[in-house]
């Protein structure tokens, strides 16, 4: 018991409690002085009335200027973060109009029954606000997103709403996106200390007083690129969670950001839509689309044909049937073709361990290719990379900037975020290897290094 009391006393904010009791005493004295000023006024003592009234005002003003701001700053950060936003609904407007009409009628007629009705209607608004605010404080949310997402390809996310209350269920709760706004500049007051002399060391400054200064603060924009529609939960029992599937569709590649969420309810009377802001940020990288297009079907056969010719040899995939040479093994003789032609024929295969393909993306200058063509060729590069990653191919990539990972997903992430920019071409510093290259470039044909022509297929930006 003694240890418990020590821990409680150790966690007490003594400064806040001292200010609280000092303010309580000051307000008591202020109230007493106000009462005695009324007594002295009735007794005809004008001087005493002025003194007592001044003391009451000074004590109340001291509490308002010193204690109230201090205690207000002691408010928990969570309460500030989870502040509630209120939006009046159409039902609420109609209800308030009805309350106003009945209230005017009660004032004009003096009917006590009308006053009771108005009081009950106003009490219903208060009860609604307290009940919904208490319910929102006890629910928490989570949004789970898929790891790999492609543009124009619908995916499913999962919204989770947990009711942390042990006794009370949650009714009619929605997970909503935040209100979108652009970045703006706002003037704000900041606390500071005025020091004199200003350039002297702190120990030699003989004047230090509290000060305020005005500065411009950039309020960042709020984006809601991921969750755009509310997710509704009609009922969540106590101490349980409810899940809902969320359809997500992104029309373009790039980075998508969600700056927070909101938990909203209109329970119980739908007078107000109350939203508790939830500081939960989400970010997604959407890859370019990989659906086969007309350009993909035009380019793929030519790349495949040249690639197979480049890696022609012995292996498992049949490349061609040719004339028998003395160094050929008898187990590769194609007896059916030999019988048809009357000459000894052998099968030639591609070597599996030599199927090395490298996709090179030479990012062009903005002046060299239009924006729509640029997006089209990014989609083509992504489609080819996705296609060959599913083949029996040793696939690698070369870009002007280092990839986050050397696999296909690192290349797709690069294509998701890349933009046209000026800079040196990667073809001038591309290391030569035994890989077959598929090169996306906007450089003129005459400026391409000669060694690349023998082991590459070029896709030129138009």
Whole-number pLDDT of residue 319:
65
Which residues 6+ apart lie within 8 Å of 157 measured at CB? 143, 144, 145, 146, 226, 227, 245, 246, 248
- 232-261 mean pLDDT: 90
Whole-number pLDDT of residue 413:
93
Whole-number pLDDT of residue 116:
86
Other CB atoms within 10 Å distance of the CB of residue 314: 16
- The most confident of the ranges 71-80, 255-264, 392-401 is 255-264
Which H or E element spans position 241? strand 241-248
Structural tokens at position 238: 């106590």
Which 3-state string (H, E, C) describes 96-138?
HHHHHHHHHHHHHHCCHHHHHHHHHHHHHHHHHHHHHHHHHHC
Query: What is the longest distance spanned by two Cα atoms in the chain?
Result: 141
- 280-297 mean pLDDT: 88
Examine the pLDDT at 80 and tell me if it is beyond 50. Answer: no
Examine the pLDDT at 89 and tell me if it is beyond 80. Answer: yes
Whole-number pLDDT of residue 70:
67
150 — pLDDT class (breaks 50, 70, 90) = very high
Residue 266 C-alpha from the chain's centroid:
25
19 — pLDDT class (breaks 50, 70, 90) = confident
- The most confident of the ranges 6-20, 33-47, 76-90, 322-336 is 33-47
pTM for the model: 0.68
Q: Is 54 helix (H, G, I), strand (E, B) or coil?
A: helix
* Between 256 and 430, residue with greater pLDDT: 256
Which H or E element spans position 382? helix 371-389
- 157-182 mean pLDDT: 88
Please state, in angstroms and rounded to a whole number, the distance separating the CA atoms of residues 346 and 453.
30
Examine the pLDDT at 78 and tell me if it is beyond 50. Answer: no
Q: Is 370 helix (H, G, I), strand (E, B) or coil?
A: coil
Examine the pLDDT at 292 and tell me if it is beyond 80. Answer: yes
Please state, in angstroms and rounded to a whole number, the distance separating the CA atoms of residues 141 and 259.
14
Please state, in angstroms and rounded to a whole number, the distance separating the CA atoms of residues 76 and 85.
18
How many H-runs (helices) and E-runs (strands) does the chain carry? 11, 18
Please state, in angstroms and rounded to a whole number, the distance separating the CA atoms of residues 299 and 440.
12
* Between 451 and 70, residue with greater pLDDT: 451
């Amino acid at each position: 018991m003694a240890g418990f009391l020590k821990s409680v006393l150790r966690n007490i904010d003594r400064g806040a409690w001292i200010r609280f009791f000092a303010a309580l005493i000051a307000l008591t004295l202020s109230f007493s002085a106000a009462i005695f000023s009324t007594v002295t006024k009735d007794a005809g003592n004008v001087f005493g009335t002025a003194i007592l009234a001044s003391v009451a005002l000074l004590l109340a003003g001291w509490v308002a200027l010193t204690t109230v701001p201090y205690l207000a700053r002691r408010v928990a950060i969570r309460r500030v973060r989870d502040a509630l936003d209120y939006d009046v609904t159409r039902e609420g407007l109609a209800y308030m109009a009805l309350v106003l009409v009945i209230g005017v009628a009660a004032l004009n007629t003096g009917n006590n029954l009308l006053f009771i009705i108005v009081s009950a209607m106003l009490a219903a608004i208060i009860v609604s606000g307290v009940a919904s605010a208490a319910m929102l404080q006890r629910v928490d949310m989570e949004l789970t997103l898929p790891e790999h997402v492609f543009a124009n390809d619908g995916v499913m996310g999962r919204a989770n709403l947990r009711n942390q209350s042990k006794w009370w269920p949650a009714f009619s709760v929605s997970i909503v996106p935040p209100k979108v706004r652009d970045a703006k500049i706002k003037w704000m007051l900041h606390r500071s200390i005025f020091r004199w002399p200003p350039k002297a060391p702190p120990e030699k400054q003989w004047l230090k007083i509290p000060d305020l200064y005005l500065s411009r603060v950039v309020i960042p924009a709020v984006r809601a690129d991921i969750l755009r529609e509310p997710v509704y939960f009609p009922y969540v029992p106590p101490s349980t969670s409810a899940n809902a599937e969320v359809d997500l569709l992104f029309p373009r590649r790039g980075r998508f950001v969600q700056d927070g969420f909101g938990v909203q309810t209109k329970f119980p009377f739908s007078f107000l839509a109350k939203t508790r802001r939830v500081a939960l940020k989400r970010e997604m990288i959407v890859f370019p689309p990989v659906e086969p297009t007309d350009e993909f079907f035009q380019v793929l056969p030519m790349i495949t044909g040249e690639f197979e010719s480049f890696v022609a040899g012995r292996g498992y995939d049949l490349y061609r049937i040719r004339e028998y040479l003395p160094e050929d093994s008898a187990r590769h003789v194609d007896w059916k073709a030999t019988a048809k032609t009357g000459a000894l024929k052998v099968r030639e295969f591609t070597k599996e361990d030599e199927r090395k393909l490298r996709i090179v993306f030479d990012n062009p200058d903005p002046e060299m290719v239009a924006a729509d063509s640029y997006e089209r060729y990014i989609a083509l590069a992504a489609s080819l990379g996705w296609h060959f990653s599913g083949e029996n191919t040793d696939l690698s990539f070369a870009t002007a900037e280092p990839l986050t990972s050397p696999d296909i997903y690192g290349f797709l992430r690069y294509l998701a975020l890349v933009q046209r920019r000026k800079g040196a071409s990667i073809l001038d510093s591309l290391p030569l290897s035994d890989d077959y290259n598929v090169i996306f470039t906007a450089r003129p044909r005459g400026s391409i290094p000669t060694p690349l022509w023998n082991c590459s297929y070029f896709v030129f930006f138009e």
